Structure 1
Amino acid sequence: MSDPQIEGAGAPGTVDGHPVLRGSDLADVPLAWPVTSTRVLAEGHVATFAEDEVRTPDGGTMHREYLRHPGAVGIIALDDAARAVLVRQYRHPVRHRLTEPPAGLLDHAGEDPLVAAQRELAEEVGLAAGRWDVLVDLFSTPGIISEGIRVFLARDLSPAARPDGFTAEGEEADMDTVWASLDDLLAAVLDGRLHNPTLVTGVLAAGVARRDGYASLRPGDAPWPARASLAEAGLLPG
């Protein structure tokens, strides 16, 4: 293959005949191929395991098994010294105790993601934040699960009481709280020592956003179009 040639300086251009995306064109697009049948294979406490028969654009069909998941929020909470508060939690499917940011499910129909993040920060580490921004939105594993995650940046931290009725159970009962500098977290992620996807994505996003003093981030209550598209597809609670 010859060296790629970029054509059309100042225009969208191509590389070896393939388009170069820029600006608003660089975006994922909601799209749903027709589902001709659905079979629920198992109902879990959090997720539903389903199999869809899907009509492909060429007129054929394919079968895809996947987990319907309510989604989640995560929080990179930084103090004035750029240290993040974290928890260490056992995760049975991967047989690891992972270092993670405070996080939680969006399993209540219609729950506002920012409100959920504020609750989780108080529940898991006993903190509130005076400033909330959106770091990044992602699909955790889009080939097998419909989980969408919004990762927030929380700053101006202060102590907060645990919400009434909160009781740590299961893995959460064995969690502990730790702190780490953003620089040390970035190094640990790039060295392959940390694996939680919410932490990895959030830390890398925070490292990039820090370059302009977080001025480019969206506000904490910014729209979440990808989650809205999941709701339209019937993949969220209620």
Structure 2
Amino acid sequence: MGVEPQAAAIADRQSPRRLLNSTTAFSGKIWDVVSETFRLDEDGEPITREYIQHPGAVAILAMDDSERVLLLRQYRHPVRMDLWEIPAGLLDVDGEDFAVAAARELAEEADVTASTWHVLSDLFLSPGSSSEALRIYLAQGIEEVPQDERHTRTHEEAEIELAWVPLPDAVQAVLEGRIHSPSAAAAVLAAAAAKTSGYRSLRPADAPWPEHHSQHGTWPQGPVLQD
């Protein structure tokens, strides 16, 4: 059996490895697939992995004064399902502040704004196959966007349905396997956990996010090796 660590010691850590080669295997409309070869250590054999190079994203769990959370239903073609999700969007505007992007996505997808923001959770959604880093915010102090200022949604977003759901009901939907979106499931469960402290344990909206690729320039990096 392993050594039982203290709770504060449980934390993911940065671990850059020696990169030998990086090429774009496929260029897509939204994201690319890259192929990279690296070594785990100086004497290790070269390992090649392909993964989706993703710009990252933000997602928002909007909560009203009655502690109902806003869920939206949207069609997702890869899984051929209408999924209950939370508002979210890509970080595809260079230099845009993460919280500003989240506020924009909330207004565009859900027709609401929020006056109070906190970081709810930071995730890598599929770290074995994608570089996508996701930051989930808790948005409170909800107000509706005036009708004449609302964003015109297109394609799959044009079919979005909105529902305000009591937080305990949303938790039950996750636990019973009725909600499959990882961002929605993580957000709902994190909010339920944060509720026990009156949400005072949450980080501020401008908390550092060093896991997002735009912040990697501040990470210690070893030299790139070339064969």
Normalising by structure 1, report the TM-score: 0.86
Q: Structure 2: which amino acid aligns with 1:170?
A: H
> 2:111 & 2:150 partners in 1: Cα distance?
14
Give the stretch that moved more between structures: 164-173 or 51-60: 164-173
Residue 155 of structure 1 pairs with residue 105 of structure 2: no
Give the stretch that moved more between structures: 92-101 or 48-57: 48-57
> 1:72 & 1:86 partners in 2: Cα distance?
17
Partner of 1:94: 79
Residue 215 of structure 1 pairs with residue 204 of structure 2: no
Q: Structure 2: which amino acid aligns with 1:47?
A: W
Alignment equivalent of 2:159, drawn from 163, 170, 174: 174
Alignment equivalent of 2:65, drawn from 61, 68, 80: 80
> 1:137 & 1:122 partners in 2: Cα distance?
21
Partner of 2:127: 142
Partner of 1:122: 107
Number of equivalenced pairs: 217
Partner of 1:28: 12
- Is the CA contact 2:69–2:167 (under 8 Å) kept in the aligned structure 1? yes
Partner of 1:51: 35
> 1:159 & 1:37 partners in 2: Cα distance?
49
User: Identity over aligned residues, as a percent?
Assistant: 43
Give the stretch that moved more between structures: 162-171 or 139-148: 162-171
1:21 offset after TM fit, Å? 2.5
C-alpha RMSD of the superposition: 1.9
- Is the CA contact 2:72–2:84 (under 8 Å) kept in the aligned structure 1? yes
State the SS of the aligned residue for 2:55.
coil
> 1:79 & 1:66 partners in 2: Cα distance?
38
Residue 60 of structure 1 pairs with residue 42 of structure 2: no
Deviation by residue 1:140-187 (Cα, 9 ceiling, x = unmatched)? 000000000000001111112489794312110111111211100100
Higher relative contact order (CA 8 A, sep 6+): 2
- Is the CA contact 1:123–1:162 (under 8 Å) kept in the aligned structure 2? no
> 1:125 & 1:103 partners in 2: Cα distance?
10
- Is the CA contact 1:30–1:229 (under 8 Å) kept in the aligned structure 2? no
Seen in structure 2, the aligned counterparts of structure 1 residues 166 and 79 have a Cα distance that, compared at 3 Å, is: closer
Residue 196 of structure 1 pairs with residue 171 of structure 2: no
| Structure 2, gaps ≥5 residues long | 220-227
Partner of 2:222: none
Partner of 1:71: 56
- Is the CA contact 1:133–1:152 (under 8 Å) kept in the aligned structure 2? yes
Partner of 1:10: none
Give the stretch that moved more between structures: 156-165 or 95-104: 156-165
Residue 105 of structure 1 pairs with residue 90 of structure 2: yes
Q: Structure 2: which amino acid aligns with 1:157?
A: I
